[in-house]
Structure 1
Amino acid sequence: MPMDAAGRAACLSQFFLSSWRCYPKLTLTRYALCSKSKAYGENLSTRIDSILDSWLQVAVKPGIEELTLFLYEDEEYIFPISLLSLGVRSSIRSLELRSCVFRPTPELGPLRGLTRLALRDVRITGLKLECLLFNSLALELLDLIHCHRIIFLKIPSVLLQLSCVKVRGCSYLRAVENKAPNLSSFTLYGQVSKLSLGATLPMMKVFVMRCDKVIRYARANLPPIMPNLKTLELGSTFEVNTPMLPSKFLNLKHLIIQVNGETLSPSYDYFSLISFLDASPSLETWWLDVRHFFEGSSHLRQLPECHHDRLKSFEVIGFSSAKGLVELTCCIVKRGNNSDCQDAMCRAIRTAELEEASRAVVAIRRYIEDKVPSTAKLTLVEPCPCRRCRSTHMDDE
């Protein structure tokens, strides 16, 4: 090579080296990879996958601690298991994949240092995931989002360090079986026919679940297997009345319940939620979201007094004039130390919502206000008087 050509090549190499250091993101577009004549006649995804494989082989080396691969609308790309060589498996701490195919095998070997595994829109079966989990003994966090190939999620007992599991939007998931003994936080968005979190979870502190009839399910099934549960968050679109049961949440301090009132049966009795108060002698805060609209309250039932001295805050979002909700609030404010009943904050609302909010204020004034003892504080957020809410509310269709 002539001397001047060699000099130019050396300068160019240094320039590219500097560019890679300053611009670590790789953008592969049809314009960059294909000429106009071939742009629509060539398999672009095959070319991109080939380039991506080559780039990953260069980038993923022993000693790497964090690997995050986000693809968009490309669930056909097969993540190369060969990347997880012995040196990589020994060093990697966090693995996060999005929109690809992931097929770990028993021959993969242990990922001794992996503490965080996050998969989103990843095509992986329950068996393949179980295989990976058995090889990840240091795992602390498992986060699965929209992994639709998983039907049965099995979490093995060898995961002694696993403390947090999040499963959201896995639409074909039907069963969850956990045997990890130290799980302390579990989140499930979806409907499953079988949920087994272990005979006893002494460390469980946070449980979040959203699906139909989850409120009744939680009251009936969780106290025996979660004796040390501290925070419980439930969300339901279809619900049935909660029964009074002898089992207790002895250590529950924070309760969050969200109900989609628009899908509830008109016969649903909000007062049945008193079962949670009866079962939770240590409860300090209760946040209740019941954004629904009813006709005005009728005569209230004569209810037994509810003894609960530790409750410091009871907050209702979307308070309405529903009889059961008024009765529930009356029962709580008589004994609570600090109760907050709040309506929705400033926003554009429909005429029907505005009318119901006004009825809710009347119900509070008539049935609740005079029952608040001197040791409790009632905060009522009335319908917003601002011009934006009053003038821009939407008429019902």
Structure 2
Amino acid sequence: MMSSAGNPKRKAMCRSVWLRRQRAKTNYHGPRLSLAATKCPPCQEHDNPEVAKDTIQVIELDKFPEDILHHIHSLVPLRDAARAACVSRRFLRSWKCFPNLTFNWKTLGLNMQEGTPYDRAKKIVDRIYHILKNHSGIGVKILKLQVHSCSNVITANLLGIWLETAVKSGIVELAVDLPQDQSAKYDFPCSVLSCAASSIQSLAPSACAFRPTIIIDCFRNLKSLCLKLVLITEEELGCFFSCTISLEKLEVSQCNEITFLKIPSHLQQLCILRVFLCQKLQVVEIYAPKVATFMFRGPPTKISITNPSQLKIMTMDGSFYAGMFHHALTKLHSITSNLHTLVLCSSREAFNTPASAAKFLQLT
């Protein structure tokens, strides 16, 4: 063939054919050859130098140090990481200490439209059991057990085994989301937290009993605590607070054993506090000095803040309860002097906007 200028196209065609063959070899031989370094073919020696500049040399996987390869593997989603471990011995070694263990039906690659609820729950539990059974327990940074759909399949004994396997020193985030209709069945084994106390930064137990009456170590790096549908008393929560010094975010949601919530003054870094739908809650006392955002959902409740100067955003959501507007106007205006944003929600209650605005002049 001849170009429009009369020059042969053989060399360009030769290079094109060679590239296609190289790509075919790469796809066939898997991850090792997909990163293999390549050299230009002989027919490329006299090609256009600008074309040669586009040639990219890459490195074999086997040339990477073990720690770098493990880091690359750790960035891959759980399901893909498991597949890579099936075709590579080096990735298999990395899989045994895979750091991000987020378990739910999606990350496990399951179809939640197939089978009965029991069959689907059994598949999730079996997959988690198999993965953790083959995990060394070393190197876990994140453990999320999102098994709220596994009612009547997951057991307290199984939960204890999973936590003992994966919760070690070095873990950063732990979230346990259990079946909501059987929270009394699961007693969160607080003893497993003792070995992780120095490293854990985020803790979120859900739908279980959490009884931290004796804590062995100080949670000096814990920044976020979320308690949802948790059976815990104010005394037990106070015991846990005594072991935390760096807490920045706290959420207490539907914890129906708490009647008196006291946020102690030694929580110097606490800036976000959320309290939602705790049925027996009667009093909230906030002594932490830097709370800037306070969100409350429930009936009108006695709330006191010793140092409201840092409070900038406040939400009082009484959507399903009457009297929140009246409560805010008569009980809360003294703690809202520096607010930038105030959200009030109430039900079945008249509200006089002009008269109410005079109570919160800084918002107008």
TM-score bucket of the superposed structures, by smaller chain = 0.5 to 0.7
How far apart are the structure 2 equivalents of 1:24 and 1:32? 12
Deviations, residues 6-63 of structure 1 (Å, cap 9, x unaligned): xxxxx999698759959853789457989xxxxxxxxx96973222211211111101
- Give the CA deviation at 1:78: 1.0
1:216 aligns with: 326
> Equivalent residue of 1:114, what SS?
coil
1:81 aligns with: 190
Is 1:204 the counterpart of 2:311? The answer is yes
2:282 aligns with: 174
Q: 1:46 to 1:102 in 2, by over 3 A?
A: farther
1:227 aligns with: 337
What residue ranges of structure 2 are gaps of 5+ in the alignment? 1-85, 106-119, 127-150
Q: Which amino acid is 1:96 matched to?
A: A
Deviations, residues 267-324 of structure 1 (Å, cap 9, x unaligned): x4x4x2212333444435xxxxxxxxxxxxxxxxxxxxxxxxxxxxxxxxxxxxxxxx
CA root-mean-square deviation: 3.1
1:133 aligns with: 241
Is 1:278 the counterpart of 2:347? The answer is no
How far apart are the structure 1 equivalents of 2:317 and 2:123? 44
> Equivalent residue of 1:202, what SS?
helix
Q: Which amino acid is 1:231 matched to?
A: T
How far apart are the structure 1 equivalents of 2:237 and 2:324? 26
Structure whose alpha-carbon radius of gyration is higher: 2
- Give the CA deviation at 1:182: 1.4
Q: 1:232 to 1:89 in 2, by over 3 A?
A: same
Q: 1:172 to 1:279 in 2, by over 3 A?
A: closer
What residue ranges of structure 1 are gaps of 5+ in the alignment? 1-10, 35-43, 240-267, 285-397
Higher share in helix: 2
* 1:62-101 alignment runs, 5 A limit: 62-73=169-180, 74-75=182-183, 76-86=185-195, 88-101=196-209
> Equivalent residue of 1:78, what SS?
coil
How far apart are the structure 2 equivalents of 1:196 and 1:280? 17
Deviations, residues 44-86 of structure 1 (Å, cap 9, x unaligned): 9697322221121111110111111111233111111111124
How far apart are the structure 1 equivalents of 2:240 and 2:125? 35
How far apart are the structure 1 equivalents of 2:240 and 2:291? 18
How far apart are the structure 2 equivalents of 1:234 and 1:116? 26
Is 1:50 the counterpart of 2:160? The answer is no
Which residue of the other structure, out of 302, 315, 328, is the alignment partner of 1:194? 302
Between the aligned residues of both structures, percent identity stands at: 33
Q: Is the 8 A contact 1:174 1:191 kept in 2?
A: no
* 1:344-383 alignment runs, 5 A limit: none
Q: Is the 8 A contact 1:94 1:116 kept in 2?
A: yes
Is 1:25 the counterpart of 2:134? The answer is no
Q: 1:23 to 1:230 in 2, by over 3 A?
A: closer
- List, as ranges, runs of 4+ consecutive aligned residues in structure 1 with deviation greater than 6 Å: 11-17, 31-34
How far apart are the structure 2 equivalents of 1:80 and 1:13? 36
Deviations, residues 207-257 of structure 1 (Å, cap 9, x unaligned): 111233221222223332232111100111143xxxxxxxxxxxxxxxxxx
> Equivalent residue of 1:158, what SS?
coil
**TM-score normalised by the chain length of structure 1:** 0.52
How far apart are the structure 2 equivalents of 1:47 and 1:115? 29
How far apart are the structure 2 equivalents of 1:114 and 1:143? 13
> Equivalent residue of 2:197, what SS?
helix
Q: Is the 8 A contact 2:300 2:327 kept in 1?
A: no
